[in-house]
Structure 1
């Protein structure tokens, strides 16, 4: 079992940004919650909390390694990864696509650190273990990495596409490892045509919460909403690799990120007082992800929202709370925000904590002031939404609606400094005036440009300090 020094033990902090002042009778309280994990390194092992010391002010809470906490799981690899490679017939058109997929998988395997459990799955209308086979996982070292790369020669293109079977096999393989970080990497070049949508949904429902999964679409013949749905359900990232030659670099980066994860199954727990209700909970940075429907009850007036695995990183969440109306001079705790980590005995440790307040005032300047963080991320969420709506309208031939929505997207991207999204929008529309959102739809748009905009529409920029 890995032992941790203080230098590579993750620490979490929770910071709350809000305007707590409401006008008399006001009910909606908005806050941005910034969660930051630092100091975890990439040396493996599952950190667990020490004596929990909640901190409303965002002071970091130290964790200890699993080896230092009585009653934790026995020693084993720190993480397990299954790489799922599309081997359907379309991967042979052009023939270089399959070769690029093999090279990318080899690059990912080379990035595995020693001690990580791993496997490679070939996905068609069925799922097949390519390495190590036999229903088990291999433990990464120089020998097994070389064996796995040799086994990649068995990857050939034929058959159909049934992604649910790939995920189900990955889940079964990952379940054999006594680890806490379980991760999948999925590559496809086509639509999920050889199983029913409800079969894929059933597989996703069964895998949700058991492992995270990054999804990549190569080329332009796959369905964006299908792949983003997979990544969303499994709390992973999604992206397009329009040119197959870029797969190796992308897979290497994905695996490096996966190897940096140190803590899994962290949840955002929200407690509200009598009469207050959660309106919504959204991750708003680095991407927009609505977590509202993923709430699980966690005791009286408390619910938990999954955040997945963490390495050295920072994320922002937008929380909206409906509180009972009150008069001038009254104040209340609108919500207590806790970052929690499950223990084997069913209890949870608090990694960090912050408070959301409501104060009623007759000072119009105070009650009408919009917190900069809240305003920024409200705009970023709208940006993601209008891009999706604009592209859908364009596909349906509704040019007026597409122009209006994508024009609004250009305006929001410009105002917020989201330069990456602005550049992607400029490949779909001709920008006449970014400040007012005046645009013209381009007569011809490359499939890769449209799909890239749709796939990356939820990526946000942080608030400028």
Structure 2
């Protein structure tokens, strides 16, 4: 591990791998753990005041939040959806830290500024929070759903405050993106990617998991289900507290490889699975940057797979150099921390057949997620045999790896006969909410047990 000096928060990189390869082997796998300390908040609203008593502080001035609330006609069926969405948004507004810029957008087949209006962001303080909550009383349900339009409106609002470097959106919907021109959402995601992050929430069961996952993946956020509208307030509070804990934005994982070596993939594997491979941007000779979004006090794991030239026994090489980098206003890049991935060729069978516990664990977590998603898809298609086999495999992996939360979600969909063997039977009358919750949370992982 190497930690380079910098002001708080501090970043560290740890690399876990089995560097030993058999003669002729070419694939090198490593788990890269990135940890930040000293930069986050743990909830509440830390308040700083400038000389004239106004809200101040660098952290507040650098952050901006836009809350996008679905106000389409379906939010009135039942009426408690919009009522709870209104209350949840008020809770989120109350959680915004003093000095943070914010706005609320009502989303239908168009995007309407609810507060503050005028294409601007308000600065959080006691008065603006009260005004925003008063404005929420005007929210009513009508029209359709065009999520790309909401995202473009959020981007315009963020652009009105260019000094904000940490830009975060919260998007709530209860339905599908059915009222948008073809390609509208694609264009919006392309415009927003790399500019702001978005946490997506689906309320009820009439929305599509794949659609919201696609948005959250493109914008480096999270996706989850709130099956009952009454759960929205607590979920919004937790999301906003997490957002308020972010202190550093636009951090990238830079992977440098030597000549004739190729990066096969880079994936976030904890706290959830996210394939970053296609997000790569070139960063000089044989180097590429993979965005990781904004950071507070937290730790995440990444799986880096590199293909190197084959070599004979006794050779060794640097397979990759992993750097955590942050762009600076002057166009330079600051290296926050670094780690090295090695390859050593040996004829020692014990060394070459030993799988890194971290690599093996997260390979299993990826298999768990794909087994759940394929099993549920097969069930929807009426292929009960394949569905049972896939969810049985998921039960076996969840049990073996100690992923208790996913195991409990699986038990709501299948009756577990033998968890070690993965013997299961589909339960009768499985609720749509339980099925969607399992699918939505299938990508949440657990870390390697010490």
* TM bucket, shorter chain: over 0.9
Give the superposition deviation at 1:197.
5.1
Deviations 1:365-420 (A, max 9, x none): 00100010000000001111111111111111111111111111111100000000
Task: Return the alpha-carbon distance in structure 1 between the equivalents of residues 159 and 60 of structure 2.
Answer: 13
1:27 — aligned with what? 26
Q: What's the CA shift string for 1:302-342, capped at 9, x where partnerless?
A: 00100000000000000111111111111000000000000
- CA distance in 2 between counterparts of 1:30 and 1:384 reads 20
- The residue aligned with 2:61 is 77
Is 1:441 aligned to 2:438, yes or no? no
* CA distance in 2 between partners of 1:242 and 1:362 (Å): 55
DSSP 3-state at the match of 1:457: helix
Deviation beyond 4 Å, 4+ runs, structure 1: none
Q: Which residue does 2:115 correspond to in 1? A: 131
- Given the superposition, is the C-alpha separation of residues 43 and 217 from structure 1 closer, same or farther in structure 2, using an over 3 Å criterion? closer
1:151 to 135, 157, 174: 135
Which secondary structure state, in structure 1, belongs to the residue aligned with residue 304 of structure 2?
Answer: strand
- Offset of 1:345 from its aligned partner? 2.1
- Indicate whether 1:361 and 2:358 are aligned: no
Q: What is the CA–CA distance in structure 2 between the aligned matches of 1:79 and 1:300, rounded to whole Å?
A: 33
Q: TM-score, normalised by structure 1?
A: 0.91
Q: Corresponding residue for 1:65?
A: none
Q: Is the 8 A contact 2:61 2:101 kept in 1?
A: yes
Please say if residues 42 and 241 of structure 2, whose CA atoms lie closer than 8 Å, have aligned partners that are also in contact. no
Q: Give per-residue Cα distances to partners, 1:91-143, cap 9 Å, x unaligned.
A: 10111111100100000000011100000000000000010000000000000
- 2:280 counterpart residue number: 295
1:343-354 matches, cutoff 5 A: 343-354=328-339
The normalised TM-score by structure 2 is 0.94
- Bigger shift: 402-411 or 190-199? 190-199
Separation of aligned partners in 1, 2:317 and 2:42: 43
Match of 2:15 in 1: 16
| Whole-angstrom distance in 2 between the partners of 1:376 and 1:42 | 30
Question: Which of 401, 417, 440 is the equivalent residue of 2:402?
Answer: 417
SS of residue matched to 2:183: helix
CA shift at 1:75, angstroms? 10
TM-aligned CA deviation for residue 196 of structure 1 = 3.9
1:175 paired with 2:159, answer yes
**What residue is the counterpart of 2:175 in the other structure?**
190
How far is 1:443 from its partner? 2.6
Measured after TM superposition, the shift of residue 344 of structure 1 is 1.4
Q: How does 1:13-92 map to 2 (within 5 A)?
A: 13-42=12-41, 77-92=61-76
Q: How far apart, in 2, do the equivalents of 1:411 and 1:197 lie?
A: 41
Q: Does 1:319 align with 2:304?
A: yes
Q: CA deviation at 1:78?
A: 2.3
SS state at 1:327 partner? coil
Aligned counterparts of 2:81 and 2:362: Cα–Cα separation in 1: 38
Point out the more displaced range, 257-266 or 75-84: 75-84
Deviations 1:254-310 (A, max 9, x none): 000000000000000000001111111110000000111111110000001000000
The corresponding residue for 2:55 is none
CA distance in structure 2 between the aligned counterparts of 1:434 and 1:108, rounded to whole angstroms: 40
Aligned-residue offset at 1:9: 2.1
Structure 2 counterpart of 1:114, from 89, 98, 104: 98
Whole-angstrom distance in 2 between the partners of 1:9 and 1:443: 54
Note if 1:255 corresponds to 2:240.
yes
Superposition deviation, residue 76 in structure 1: 7.4
| Structure 1 residues 143 and 7: alpha-carbon distance in aligned structure 2, compared to 1, 3 A threshold | farther
Uncovered stretches (5+) of structure 2, i.e. residues with no partner: 44-57
- Where structure 1 has 5 or more consecutive residues not aligned to the other structure, the ranges are 1-5, 45-73
Distance in 2 (alpha carbons) for counterparts of 1:397 and 1:292: 33
Give 3-state SS (helix, strand or coil) of 2:442's partner: coil
Task: Name the counterpart of 1:451.
Answer: 436
2-structure distance, mates of 1:77, 1:183: 14
Q: What's 1:64 paired with? A: none
Q: 2:403 touches 2:446 (CA, 8 Å); kept in 1? A: yes
Displacement of 1:201 in angstroms is: 1.2
Q: Is the 8 A contact 1:7 1:39 kept in 2?
A: no
C-alpha deviations, 1:3-39, integer Å up to 9, x for none? xxx9992100000000000011111110000000011
Match of 1:59 in 2: none
Count of residue correspondences: 431
CA distance in 2, matches of 1:8, 1:421: 38
Supply the RMSD in Å over aligned alpha carbons.
Answer: 1.6
The 8 Å contact of residues 8 and 40 in structure 1, kept in 2 or not, is answered as no
Aligned counterpart, 1:98 = 82
Question: How far apart, CA to CA, are the structure 2 residues paired with 1:176 and 1:241?
Answer: 31
